[in-house]
């Protein structure tokens, strides 16, 4: 039997020999969340402490600014991948819904101070292990935490290194 002989016998009737464009049409249906994403959605895993406002440090920085330049300098948001091995002081985080169709349905915006420069910044990450770590750290309490982003293992799907938090 030739390699392709009989292959098309089991395909649906809609398959034709006509050329098909490579354009993928967007779906109006939301992506099915994985178990972790569903747990985050269902459990309300992130309990917001009204006394812990992660933006309060940013507001305090603006209100205590000594010059107009300090007031008008935006606080940057960075990707966690760009912060690997940088010593950070974690003051809190908030969860945001992701607009991507693949991956985690949520990402965390960590409010940190860079230990070497004192720069206050936001670091975003959607890696599930890091999100789980942030949730548990919040549950345990005791901010601030001295953390750094590390690469740990490789994704079987993309081949990219996975990210996690470690202490420094």
Q: What is the overall mean pLDDT for the chain?
A: 76
Q: How confident is the model at residue 100 (pLDDT cuts 50, 70, 90)?
A: low
Q: Which H helix or E strand runs over 41? A: helix 35-43
Give the residue numbers spanning the domain of 111: 31-167
pLDDT of 103 strictly over 70: no
Contact call for residues 148 and 166 (beta carbons, < 8 A): yes
pLDDT of 83 strictly over 90: yes
Q: How many domains does the chain have?
A: 1
β-pairing verdict for 77-79 and 120-125: parallel
Decide if 129 is inside a domain.
yes
> Over the stretch 118-141, which tens digit does the pLDDT of each residue have?
988 999 999 989 999 999 999 998
Decide if 62 is inside a domain.
yes
Decide if 4 is inside a domain.
no
Decide if 23 is inside a domain.
no
Give the whole-angstrom CA distance, residue 31 versus residue 154.
24
Decide if 19 is inside a domain.
no
> Over the stretch 28-69, which tens digit does the pLDDT of each residue have?
554 455 777 676 666 566 554 444 454 566 677 788 888 898
Decide if 82 is inside a domain.
yes
């Amino acid at each position: 039997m030739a390699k392709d002989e009989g292959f098309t016998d089991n395909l649906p009737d809609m398959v034709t020999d006509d050329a098909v464009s490579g354009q993928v049409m967007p779906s109006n249906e939301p992506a099915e969340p994985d178990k972790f994403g569903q747990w985050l959605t269902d459990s309300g895993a992130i309990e917001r402490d009204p006394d812990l406002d992660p933006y309060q440090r940013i507001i305090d920085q603006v209100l205590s600014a000594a010059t107009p330049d300090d007031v008008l300098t935006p606080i940057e948001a960075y990707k966690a991948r760009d912060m690997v091995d940088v010593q950070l002081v974690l003051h809190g985080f908030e969860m945001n819904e992701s607009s991507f169709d693949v991956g985690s349905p949520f990402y965390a915006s960590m409010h940190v101070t860079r230990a070497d420069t004192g720069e206050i910044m936001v670091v975003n990450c959607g890696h599930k292990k890091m999100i789980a770590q942030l949730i548990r750290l919040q549950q345990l309490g005791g901010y601030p935490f001295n953390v750094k982003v590390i690469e740990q293992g490789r994704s079987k799907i993309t081949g990219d290194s996975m990210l996690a938090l470690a202490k420094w």
